Structure 1
Amino acid sequence: MTIEIFDSGDDLALAVSRQLAARVHSVATVGRTPKVVLTGGSIATRIYGRLSAENADWSRAEYWWGDERFVPEGHEDRNDRQAREGFLDRLGVPAEHIHAMPAHGCDLSMAEAADQYATTLPQDPFDVVLLGVGPDAHIASLFPGHPQVNETERLAVEVFDSPKPPPQRITLTYPALNHTKVTWFVVAGADKADAVAKALGGAPIEEAPAAGARGLEETVWFLDTAAASKLRR
């Protein structure tokens, strides 16, 4: 595990966008399809806005999400809408490479929707999983004190009572999130400093779900100085 600290959220976003482009390019050049799990949030928006067709052929990669709000398709709260507007549509990623989670109105229960999404996940490890971290140290929609953090069998599960609105969500679990070569945490802002310190300080996953995510080959925390301000140096 490594920690990289940047002066600002914009510097962080630029660095992650460049490293993500390099990762996608390197995987594609050896003849494999890059497999990427996307995240939502304000820092993700800044990262996506900096992705360029000059640095990688984004259309060759396939994309999933770590979690999604169970609201109608196209709703402004959807993480997939954020990514579509941020780079997927702009950079010409074909629809068959975009694995969005089911939306409210899909005629499936949330449990059925979660199980259906699990069938879309690749058998080989993801190449990159991007994760934001909430002020309570949650990742995806795995929240402190909630039973989903202890799921060991299902790859995707339903969440009915998210403490952060909207309350109904679908999330990948640790067995899916940790089936990745590389995990990158992207965290900016002073409101995340306590969460970062808790997760990196050895807190149990029931208190800091971010502590339970890691890559098989590499785990990197990309932080701005505000988010890193409470780490012990």
Structure 2
Amino acid sequence: MTRDVAVLSDAEAVAETVAQRFLARMAAAQERGETPDVALTGGTVARLVHRQIAAHAHEHPIDWTRITFWFGDERFVAADSPDRNELQARADFLDAVGATRVNAIPSTAEASGVSDAADRYSAQLRSEGSGEFDLVMLGMGPDGHVASLFPGHPQLDDHDHIAVGLTDSPKPPPERVSLTFDALNRARAVWFLVTGAEKAEATQRAWAFDGSVAETPARGISGPSVTWFVDEAAAGDQR
């Protein structure tokens, strides 16, 4: 695994940089004749990134119908809930750019519970995914969690599933569906989007030479190429 770190001045600079890198990466992939699979994340900085992508999409020769979008995790709520990462991503850029291959994690209207939703999403990834993400984008919480893989939770050690459900998320809402580490790490590139001083301590633990995944789940990301886009506040005294 290689890890690169880009420290930017603030959240807006992170969003602008990531959006431009994303657009360039998608254009390059399509020039090679590829139809990339991308796993999106939610959260405040992700929404800033998505809006920047929409604002600058016209500057790049991208056929958005030839990108397959997935989600690293989702809140198990009603299909029309504003809490859903899917709806936020659609509102911020997917609908604006004309993306048609958007694979949402099932809502409460489409699955009987979180386990059923996870099984359905796993089956969809097996049947419609390429077997490898070109890019996974992840946020990180102040506790070091990624997607909906939280410190001390048994889902951290699941190597039997593509996606898992949980009913006791320490961050509301409690019911969620998340890709496992094994799925998230099947990626050519993983980009972390991390901003805010409240993340500095978790960032330090994630980058430390020693430490455990149980304490800091972000340490469980081990794809071949991992890039951290962080602002000065999240980098703390490591910048």
| Structure-2 change in CA distance of 1:76 and 1:226 (3 Å) | same
Q: State the TM-score, normalized to the length of structure 2.
A: 0.93
Aligned-residue offset at 1:54? 2.3
Report the equivalent of 1:14. 16
Q: Which amino acid aligns with 2:116?
A: E
Report the 3-state secondary structure (helix = DSSP H, G, I; strand = E; otherwise coil) of the residue aligned with 1:148. helix
Inter-CA distance 107–8: structure 2 relative to 1 (3 Å threshold): closer
Secondary structure at 1:219 match in 2: strand
Between the aligned partners of 2:153 and 2:32, the Cα distance in structure 1 is 41
Give, in angstroms, the shift of residue 53 of structure 1: 2.9
What CA distance in whole angstroms lies between the structure 1 residues aligned with 2:237 and 2:217? 18
Aligned partner (choices 219, 225, 232) of residue 232 of structure 2:
225
C-alpha distance after superposition, 1:66-107 (max 9, x if no partner):
00000000201100011000100011111xx00000001224
Contact 1:59 1:91 in 2 (8 A): no
Secondary structure in 1 aligned to 2:161?
coil
Q: When you count helix as a share of all residues, which structure comes out higher? A: 2
Structure-1 separation of matches of 2:111 and 2:169: 22
Counterpart among 115, 119, 142 of residue 115 in structure 1: 119
Mapped pair 1:106 → 2:110: yes
Stretches of structure 2 that go unaligned for 5 or more consecutive residues are none
Amino acid at match of 1:91: V
Q: Which residue of 2 aligns with 1:163?
A: 170
Aligned residues: CA RMSD: 1.1
Distance (Å, rounded) in 2 between the aligned partners of 1:135 and 1:175: 23
Quote how far apart the aligned CAs of 1:123 are. Answer: 4.1
CA distance 1:109–1:22, change in 2 (3 Å): same
Whether the 8 Å CA contact 2:37–2:68 is kept in 1: the answer is yes
Contact 1:24 1:58 in 2 (8 A): no
Structure 1 unaligned residues grouped into runs of 5+: none
Distance 2:116 2:179 in 1: 14
Residue in 1 aligned with 2:131? 124
Look up the match of 1:179.
186
Note closer, same or farther for the CA distance 1:148–1:66 as it changes in structure 2 (3 Å cut): same
What is the identity, as a one-letter code, of the residue corresponding to 1:131?
L
Tell me the equivalent position of 1:135.
142
Q: Which secondary structure does the structure 2 equivalent of 1:138 belong to?
A: coil
Residue in structure 1 matching 2:92, options 86, 90, 93: 86
Give structure 1 regions of 4+ aligned residues with deviation exceeding 6 angstroms: none
SS of equivalent to 1:36: strand
| Paired residue type of 1:118 | S
Task: Normalising by structure 1, report the TM-score.
Answer: 0.95
